[in-house]
Structure 1
């Protein structure tokens, strides 16, 4: 059992698209419209009081990381959220946005995100060893983590369900899930296409920029049409459209890269960030040249040139 980290976001986005197909969610309707109370009235969101941008945020903004919210609120100088730009104006990776969309599903639609993910994703794709919440039966078969310096980190038993990244999983289960998502199982053809359609251009020098010094002028993304899909990143590679999603923390290195035309995905899970150093060579060995922007995802590990 390994920590899925932000691979959770791709699975959650795919589940949300099922709700779109059923008419329960409109990607372009403000999240606030689904809720009985203003967003600042909900626990954990009072800090947004007085900033009317919360009225603008839509599910599409969340899934394309264009909300204007920081990745994690504790990274803010005062550890409180604020909008750094008007939703929809720029790309800035944000896990906090996924918490907001989860609030909408739970409080606005009355859905249990854990149960919806279990039924719509993990059961659908026959993933017996995957859950949005720690299970006691995982304890006998888990991978602990190791940081770049080799220091040990016990596997985190996550008790909270988080659309942004609480999934525990195995590489076998992830292979099933990505195979099913690549095939569009459970989605209409229109929603499957929308999932990986280039939704918003990415022109940052790296995936996790310091949002206070935000710069969207890096020229390297444009030649490959690097863009945000819905919960994934997409670009034009030598074989045509490709898409990917990573999952990372100081002792976890995960990435999945998929080729649309060849209908192939490569799933890489690592319980040490040291694994990320060799991922480009593994990807090229298995999939051939992909033009994946390693300089953007792992700027500290790979020469940007």
Structure 2
């Protein structure tokens, strides 16, 4: 009996971990989602947004509402919109295919893939000013896993530094601090170290795989016929930026239909081994800050940290009332996007907003479609006020 009791005590936590989370609430039907979109547009003043719903790894709803430009042309499900930092999630998915093939090792120092030390490479417009690191040997510790989980030690971008110089603010791998520059460094390693063209690899391994026919890492002339401009917080319109350079941190143009296909394929793990798929959405490192931005801020005291929040590879992972989930946001002055998935039942909501004011409605809309998920909205957006 004593042995049985010991075994029961040991196995109980395993059983609890294996148990399925509570059954998710039924998802709203298409008509209800469109009505809620309209209500939230009125509440925020947003001019337009597009929404996709994925259930059990399949696209089940596509919606677009409002205007794609100041002329009043309608936003449609195949309107090209700026993907912003959702690019990072797609890039990480491509990188894990290279890991599966043995082309890249997540934990091998990046210097092993380069012909010469990183600071010896000249500064190029496409990349960060690597020569700025010449007096700091800590760059040699950097690995692909650190870069994809935002543990490089860089600021978000070097051009945001007061003097515009690239520097390491902490020992690589020791803490989370969001950095697009880290993704740019991994792009540099793939292109200069391994001889790959990231734009071509993204096209072949991600966009073509999922049938994303109106998605690209750079501007395409055929996008011009159905293209979204943006609206800023104060209601000004901004023209769509025709990006000519591949940037792993955020150059992707896409549509809601294409991002729905990506989300469905991603949550199914298509094109990846089970090990690689699990690594993407596994907690790689705890997140200990009060908000995502500013990127370089002090850690909270342990008692105030969210223990359910961690960095994955290209995504943020969390634990909520429906079990494990993950998400990625993306925005600039005139764009607000989010992609939220609940792992169990492979359910996702994708939102592309060509009006940054739509962000204030993201929590309400995601909750309306998926139920309460536990997405860390306050951490993602800091002190932003949300509408209900």
Same fold (TM over 0.5): yes
Change in Cα spacing, 1:25 to 1:210, as seen in structure 2 (3 Å) is closer
Match of 1:104 in 2: 189
Task: Give how far 1:72 is off.
Answer: 1.1
In 2, are the aligned partners of 1:233 and 1:243 still within 8 Å (CA)?
yes
For 2:383 and 2:309, locate their aligned partners in 1 and report how far apart those are by CA, in whole Å: 19
Q: How well do the aligned residues superpose, as a CA RMSD in angstroms? A: 1.2
Question: Residue 109 of structure 2 corresponds to which residue in structure 1?
Answer: 30
Cα distance between partner residues in 2 of 1:32 and 1:95: 19
Residue 357 (structure 2) aligns with:
274
Match of 2:340 in 1: 257
Within 1, Cα distance between the matches of 2:289 and 2:212?
35
CA distance in 2, matches of 1:139, 1:124: 24
- Per the alignment, residue 281 of structure 2 pairs with 196
How far did 1:111 drift?
0.3
1:222 is paired with a residue of what secondary structure?
coil
1:164-203 map, 5 Å: 164-203=249-288
- The separation in 2 between residues aligned to 1:209 and 1:58, in whole angstroms, is 23
What is the correspondence of 1:105-144 to structure 2 with a 5 Å cutoff? 105-144=190-229
Q: Residues of 1 paired with 2:194 and 2:188: CA distance?
A: 9
TM-score of the superposed pair, with normalisation by structure 2: 0.76
Deviation at 1:210, TM superposition (A): 4.9
**CA distance in 2: counterparts of 1:209 and 1:149, whole angstroms:** 22
Decide whether aligned partners of structure 1 residues 210 and 14 sit closer, same or farther in structure 2, where only a CA change above 3 A counts: closer
Q: 1:219 to 1:156 in 2, by over 3 A?
A: farther
Which residue does the alignment assign to 1:222?
Answer: 306
CA contact under 8 A between 1:253 and 1:270: conserved in structure 2?
A: yes
Structure 1 gaps of 5+ residues are none
Q: Does 1:62 align with 2:147?
A: yes
- CA–CA distance in 1 between the matches of 2:226 and 2:120? 41
Partner of 2:85: 6
In the alignment, does 2:97 pair up with 1:18? yes
Q: After TM superposition, which residue ranges in structure 1, 4 or more long, deviate above 6 angstroms?
A: none
Q: In terms of Rg, which structure is larger? A: 2
State the structure with bigger RCO (CA 8 A, min sep 6), 1 or 2.
2
Aligned CA distance change for structure 1 residues 221 and 180 (closer, same or farther; 3 Å): farther
Shift of 1:222: 2.6
Q: Structure 2 unaligned segments of length 5 or more: list them.
A: 1-79, 124-128
1:222-270 CA distance string (max 9 Å, x none): 34x2000000000011111100001111111000000001210100000
What displacement does 1:273 show?
1.1
Distance in 2 (CA, whole Å) between partners of 1:204 and 1:218 is: 10
- Give the paired residue count: 301
Q: Distance in 2 between matches of 1:165 and 1:220?
A: 32
User: Which deviations, in whole Å up to 9, do the C-alpha atoms of 1:106-132 show, x marking residues without a partner?
Assistant: 011100000000000000000000000
